[in-house]
Amino acid sequence: SSPQEVSRAAAAAAAALDGWRRTPVTERVQYIFRLKARLEDRLEDFAAAITAEHGKVLAEARGEVRRAIDNLDMACGAPSLMQGDASEDVSRGIDEVMIRQPVGVCAAIVPFNFPLMIPCWFLPSALVTGNTFVLKASERTPLTAQLLFQELEGLGLPDGVVNLLHGGVDTANALIDHPAVRAVSFVGSTPAARAVYARATSLGKRAQAQGGARNAIVVLPDAALDLAADVTAESAFGNAGQRCLAGGLAIAVGNVGKDFTEAVVDLAQSRVVGPGAAAGSQIGPVISGQSRSRIEDLVTMAHRDGATLAVDGRAAVVDGYGDGFYVRPTVITGVAAEATIAKTEVFGPVLTVLEATDLDQALRMVNGGDFGNMACVFTESGRAARRFRYEAQAGNIGINVGVAQPMPFFPFSGWKDSFFGDLHAHGRHGIEFYTQTKVVVERWQ
């Protein structure tokens, strides 16, 4: 989209704002109810579109559509979620009320890895709270956004309430800078999230910017080993490792290291890599040749620095798809906690295994990095689990689960360099982000 088209979209959203804001919230949610029904009816179409342009396997794409629908469900509760507060007689004969009103024109800049779910983190909550909305789709996965907006267009929304833009950094910056835009939501890498947050807030705008991650999964000696290995492998290799909740860093504690590593090595070697739409495929390609090269370069660097490649997924070739951007599941062992591979977001199907002597050392490893998106522990000890939950410096904590994905009625928390802002995506945080409070003090003689 050209700068002129960005300006047209923002202006259209601004022009539609007053009428949409005055639409009762009970009417606004009806559009989302109808959108939910449309996505339910076309679940397979959306899943196929996601697989076609992203590469993830169909089962994962179906799961993404289901998560998007869950977010629509949450937004339909806006008539209750937007309620304010009131107190009578704060002074004699004086009442005070707090109400929520929309922020204005809201923008979202979204990544490639979940081209339907992540737009649905933001769009439904923004609309039901009375805001108008501009989405800048990922330039790597634009077609799913087109499909979503075809369904939105069929709802009969007033012109300008929702708007779609395409493009890269220049389009995103033009959207952030537009004076009509009052709030910006972003998901992407940490450098980009930091830049978006700084740019938006320097202009006096609200911003929530989800960044990168290096999520650790701690396996204690008393853990159910088969469960821990299975779930860790799925967390690290699922979606080809291209998710901000990928558990790509495993910390084996005490004497569990050897058995755990052998188990995840077997699981990595048995994973079927191939086109996302092909029957039997368990892992699809990564998003681009550039991404594949970056992932393989990180693996090569780790090996050069002394790590062991227990499973080497570089130079993967899938029969009949020699030009595909495939990286097979990779398991790296013998890694020091301070190594580059242990600190860097890989965003590929790579599991790095560290070893710790006890929970104290494991927690130091978890908390020693720059990121704080997710941390998980596998244990049968309630005492150890509570300590981990209490001390781990991450916004999403898993106890005997490998992907601590919050349901849409909870916020998608993130700490440290994994999030810039105060209010996270979806849940009550989402409603609060898209509304501003107004306090009214009144007296009637």
Report the alpha-carbon distance of residue 216 to residue 388 in Å, rounded: 12
Q: Which two tokens stand for residue 14?
A: 């601004």
Task: For residue 354, give Cα distances in angstroms to 118, 339, 371.
Answer: 31, 10, 17
Residue 167's identity, in one-letter code, is G
CA 405 to chain centre: 9
Helices and strands (H and E) in the chain: how many: 16, 18
**CB-neighbour burial class of residue 207 (10 A; exposed 0-12, middle 13-18, buried 19+):** buried
Strand partners, 441: 96
244 is catalytic: yes
**Cα dist from 179 to 48, 168, 176, 247, whole Å:** 37, 20, 8, 39
Written as one letter, the residue type at 401 is V
Select which of 76, 106, 120, 244 is catalytic: 244
How far CA 36 is from CA of 26, 31, 110, in Å, comes to 16, 9, 20
Which strand (E) or helix (H) includes residue 95? strand 94-102
**Which sequence positions are flagged as catalytic?**
244
